[in-house]
Amino acid sequence: MNEELEDEDEDEDEADTDDEADSDATGSSDFDSPWPPFPIVVSHVCRHWRNIAFSTPSLWTTITVPPEERPPYEFAMTLLERSRGLPIDIYIDCEPHEHDCDVEPPSDADLKFLLSLLIPHIHRWRTMELSVSEYHHMYVFLSAVSDPSTPTAPQLETLELYHHEEMEEFDSFGYHSMSKHFTLFGGSAPSLTRLVLWGVHVDWNQPWIASASNVTDLELAFHPEDVRPSWAQFASILRGASALEKLSLRLSGPSGDPPEWFIEPTPGSPADLNAPVQLPRVTDFILAFHSQARAIGLLRKFYLPALKNLVLDFDDGDYTELVHELAGPATSLSLSSAQEQSRSLLSKLESLKIAGLPCRLECVHTLYGELQNLTSLNLSLSYLPPNFLDILCTPCRLAGRGDIWLPRLATLYVSGTFGEQLRELVQKRRDAGVPLSSLYVEESCEVDKKDMVWLKENLKTFEYFEGSEDEDDVIDFQDLDEGIDEWSDMD
Amino acid sequence: MGIAQTQKVEEDLHVLLPNNPFVPPKGDVCFINNLPPELLSRIFEAGSAGDNEDEDDMVGDWLNNLRYCLDTRDLGFR
């Protein structure tokens, strides 16, 4: 190896660029990936390896721009060059991390400069992920990729646009001067498979979203009422996404209330535009932060025959009726069999996450009574009354449901509970002949050494997981005015 | 003194474990550099793909084992 170790004076320019990439100034905020990246490491070993690394374009296709990066964005330029003609994955983060108090977000001019480098390569974009905390940054991006001179994005597979900002009110979009609904990429991104619009709105009629036949994963989140798609636009998006497998609607979806979700029939057209929207391949559905009326309205509009995994997350209000809707016959087609027409959405589920569901006590029985096929349950007990867990230790007394709740349950994820409770649950389920095999506990749960050892010895898998940031915002159920008696004692 | 000891240990390791992958081979040229450039290029690609793997599982496993070891005072390798 020694003969390969030469000084790199001849490569000074490139070495300088790499050195810049190596510095904390450009990479320390990216905790998700190893640093320095593997291509940088191997290209610093010796000249031979360096030459081979530089002649391997696939090593240089990931362009990550952290919030502290500033023009002239040499590293990004170098990657654009080294990746040659290959598809590129771009991750731009304009949100300084909370612990980096000294880091300011880039200016609009900085971002425009960066985009002026990237947009000529738009035909190579495979992934574009942009995270901002201030909407003007997103507006700069949307404007830039909507310019009439901007080419289409034929290879774009993943588009993720995030606007993370604490907003008090979602009735109207707060930045009126930036409320324009843009048409991106000349309206064409035919390879799109994953689309996330988090607090970011676009022209809901443009082809890459209204006819997104390759999209398998669609996530719409946190859209104020006045920038959401109309019901007609929303229904078109879903009907056009024939390959859709995962759908997430967090405080987003069609504007208006369910009674307004009606499309005037077109004279002479045989299509029934008000029939349930068929989502035959959707296996995963996240429904969060809607009013009860809208959540029920959406369930009644969707035909979800393949649904296996459901996430429910609601904070304010009473969702008792929603639970009854989920437990009642699911939306079906007129051609569906009688058996299918009578089955509930819950009865087909294999996994369910309940992150928040304010409802009356009897709802737990209604809910769990339908979960005969559930194998995995995830409970955020910081936001749920304890009986959501306690009931799993008790006999089921519902007629025709057997004598145990969730008889197929094998995996439990739980937060906001204690080791002693978990131990009791594991013991009682085992005694009842329906043992849990895997238990994942949110890391802030109080599980002492003795309980942890016992759980490890009595389960196939016992592990901790990292909860979301808001797990610490525990609801004190004693403060709730309504339902306190119902939630106070399961026994 | 420390350097001399390290060299001695390495020499001993060569004798005891002639194929130990954690000790550089003797000679002037690393055998890896005798690989065809195309193969080395593919090795680099594989290594780079490792950068993108979700490390949460690795970190989670490590955290779980560490907590278990600390809590049970079992500080041996698991």
Q: Is the pLDDT of residue B69 over 60?
A: no
Give the tokens for residue A379.
């409970």
Q: Is the pLDDT of residue A27 over 70?
A: no
pLDDT value of residue A21: 45
Q: Is the pLDDT of residue A149 over 60?
A: yes
The model's confidence at residue A12, banded by pLDDT at 50, 70 and 90, is very low
Query: Are B72 and A449 in contact (CB < 8 Å)?
Result: yes
Task: Answer whether B67 touches A (CB < 8 Å).
Answer: yes
Give the tokens for residue A470.
């808001």
Q: In chain A, what residues touch B33 (CB-CB under 8 Å)? A: 1, 4, 46, 48
Q: Is the pLDDT of residue A174 over 90?
A: no
Query: Are A456 and B68 in contact (CB < 8 Å)?
Result: yes
pLDDT value of residue A339: 73
| Mutation target among A89, A447, A449, A468 for the B interface, most CBs of B within 10 A | A449
B2 Cβ neighbours under 8 A, 6+ residues apart? none
* CA-closest candidate to residue A353, choices A384, A381, A377: A377
Task: Answer whether B62 touches A (CB < 8 Å).
Answer: no
The model's confidence at residue A35, banded by pLDDT at 50, 70 and 90, is confident
Q: Tell me the helix, strand and coil percentages in chain A, rounded to 5.
A: 35, 15, 45
Q: Is the pLDDT of residue A4 over 50?
A: no
pLDDT-wise least confident of A131-135, A211-215, A311-315, B61-65: B61-65
For chain A, the residues whose C-beta falls within 8 A of a C-beta of chain B are 1-4, 32-34, 37-39, 42, 46, 48-49, 52-53, 55-56, 58-59, 62, 443, 449, 452-453, 456, 463-466
pLDDT value of residue A5: 37
Q: What is the mean pLDDT of chain A?
A: 87
Instruction: Give per-residue pLDDT as tens, A196-217.
Output: 999 999 999 999 999 999 999 9
Go through A287-300 and write b for each residue having 16 or more CB atoms within 10 A of its CB, e for each that does not: bbbbbbebbbbbbe
> Which of B45, B60, B72 minimises the CB distance to A58?
B45
* CA-closest candidate to residue A148, choices A183, A109, A180, A123: A183
Distance, CA of A454 to CA of A439 (rounded, Å)? 12
A44: helix, strand or coil: coil
Domain limits, chain A: 1-115+127-135
| Amino acid at position A256, single letter | G
ipTM score here?
0.70
Contact A92, A117 (CB under 8 A): no
Please work out, in degrees rounded to the nearest 5, the angle formed at the alpha carbon of residue A299 by the alpha carbons of A296 and A301.
110
A138 Cβ neighbours under 8 A, 6+ residues apart? A130, A132, A161, A163, A200
Q: In chain B, what residues touch A59 (CB-CB under 8 Å)? A: 44-45, 48
Task: Answer whether B50 touches A (CB < 8 Å).
Answer: yes
Task: Answer whether B66 touches A (CB < 8 Å).
Answer: no
Element (H, E) at A412: strand A411-415
Q: Which residue of B has its CA nearest to A452?
A: B68
Q: Is the pLDDT of residue A488 over 50?
A: no
Dihedral sign of CA atoms A327, A328, A334, A339 in order: positive
In this structure, what DSSP letter does residue B10 have?
H
Instruction: Give per-residue pLDDT as tens, A110-128.
Output: 999 999 999 999 999 999 9
Task: Answer whether B40 touches A (CB < 8 Å).
Answer: yes
pLDDT-wise least confident of A166-170, A189-193, A242-246, B16-20: B16-20
Query: Are B44 and A42 in contact (CB < 8 Å)?
Result: yes
Q: In chain B, what residues touch A58 (CB-CB under 8 Å)? A: 45, 48
A462: helix, strand or coil: strand
> 10 Å Cβ neighbour count for A405?
26
pLDDT-wise least confident of A205-219, A253-267, A408-422, A466-480: A466-480
> Which of A2, A48, A465 minimises the CB distance to B60?
A465
Element (H, E) at A196: strand A194-198
Task: Answer whether B36 touches A (CB < 8 Å).
Answer: no
Q: Is the pLDDT of residue A403 over 70?
A: yes
Beta partners for residue A351, in sequence order: A309, A376
pLDDT value of residue B32: 78
Contact A39, A61 (CB under 8 A): no
Q: What is the mean pLDDT of residues B42-71?
A: 63
pLDDT value of residue B77: 34
Give the tokens for residue A477.
């159920």
pLDDT value of residue B4: 59
Contact A477, A385 (CB under 8 A): yes
Distance, CA of A189 to CA of A204 (rounded, Å)? 14
Q: In chain B, what residues touch A450 (CB-CB under 8 Å)? A: none
* CA-closest candidate to residue A157, choices A205, A89, A110, A211: A89
Query: Are B44 and A2 in contact (CB < 8 Å)?
Result: no
Q: Is the pLDDT of residue A105 over 80?
A: yes
pLDDT-wise least confident of A93-102, A302-311, B33-42: A93-102
Q: Is the pLDDT of residue A267 over 70?
A: yes
DSSP secondary structure string, A77-134?
A: HHHHHHTTTS-EEEEEE----TT-TTPPPPPHHHHHHHHHHHGGGGGGEEEEEEEESS
A482 Cβ neighbours under 8 A, 6+ residues apart? A318
* CA-closest candidate to residue A367, choices A328, A424, A410, A414: A328
Q: What is the mean pLDDT of residues A365-379?
A: 95
Residue A490, sorted as left (phi over 0), alpha (psi -120 to 50) or beta, turns out to be alpha
Between the alpha carbon of residue A326 and those of residues A187, A317, A348, A491, B23, the distances in Å are: 37, 17, 11, 26, 62
Domain limits, chain B: 2-53
Q: In chain A, what residues touch B41 (CB-CB under 8 Å)? A: 52, 55-56
Q: What is the mean pLDDT of residues B58-78?
A: 46
Task: Answer whether B12 touches A (CB < 8 Å).
Answer: no
Q: Which residue of A has its CA nearest to B63?
A: A464
Query: Are B33 and A4 in contact (CB < 8 Å)?
Result: yes
* CA-closest candidate to residue A300, choices A271, A321, A269: A321
Query: Are A464 and B63 in contact (CB < 8 Å)?
Result: yes
pLDDT-wise least confident of A167-171, A215-219, A270-274, A345-349: A167-171
Q: What is the mean pLDDT of residues A40-65?
A: 93
| Mutation target among A30, A43, A52 for the B interface, most CBs of B within 10 A | A52
| Mutation target among B64, B70, B73, B74 for the A interface, most CBs of A within 10 A | B64
Q: In chain A, what residues touch B23 (CB-CB under 8 Å)? A: none
Q: In chain B, what residues touch A36 (CB-CB under 8 Å)? A: none
> Which of A39, A46, A456 minimises the CB distance to B48?
A39
